[in-house]
Amino acid sequence: MKRRSLILAAVAAPLAARLERARAQPRTMKDIEALQKNWKSLLAPGTPVPDPSQKLELTKEEWRKRLSPAAFHVLREEGTERPFTSPLNDEKRPGVFVCAGCDLPLFTSAMKYDSGTGWPSFFTAIPGVFGTKKDYYLIYPRTEYHCIRCGGHHGHVFDDGPPPTRLRYCNNGVALRFVPLKP
């Protein structure tokens, strides 16, 4: 009898966690639009927000001085970090995820979800912060996205995310910096 209870508990715990995450996620496009519109409320009053239209263009050497070697590889050379290596994968506090290259806000913590892929994943983004292009690196086409301000590579967007967007912005953690909610 104890073994059966143990097996049931082992199966039920992950399912309960998954149901709880699903309940916490926005259910309609109206909810998504509210998230996209109200993201600045997560920043401390007076926090400077870079203008996406003011491009940040640096030389290769200036980028090397500004970024860690891993961030340089991802943001400037379109590399990919190993899965399950980013501490941001487990970040659950309220706040904003900004570009590690130029500090442009890209996502909020309310846009994040656990995709199980090993990279921080988001079902939507702050509007107007990314440009996209097709990537044929793995032979089949993927949609790659870059910071609109500094051109830094962040990851790929897929159509296997949660409803209602069905999107998964699969982001390299080293391409992000987390700014926790300020009281």
Dihedral sign for Cα 173, 174, 179, 180, please: positive
99 annotated active-site: no
From the list 102, 147, 150, 170, the catalytic residue is 170
Round to whole Å and give the CA distance between 102 and 99: 6
Q: Taking phi first (over 0 means left), then psi (-120 to 50 degrees means alpha), and beta for anything else, what does residue 172 get?
A: beta
Q: Taking phi first (over 0 means left), then psi (-120 to 50 degrees means alpha), and beta for anything else, what does residue 46 get?
A: left
Round to whole Å and give the CA distance between 177 and 154: 12
What is the set of active-site residues?
Answer: 170
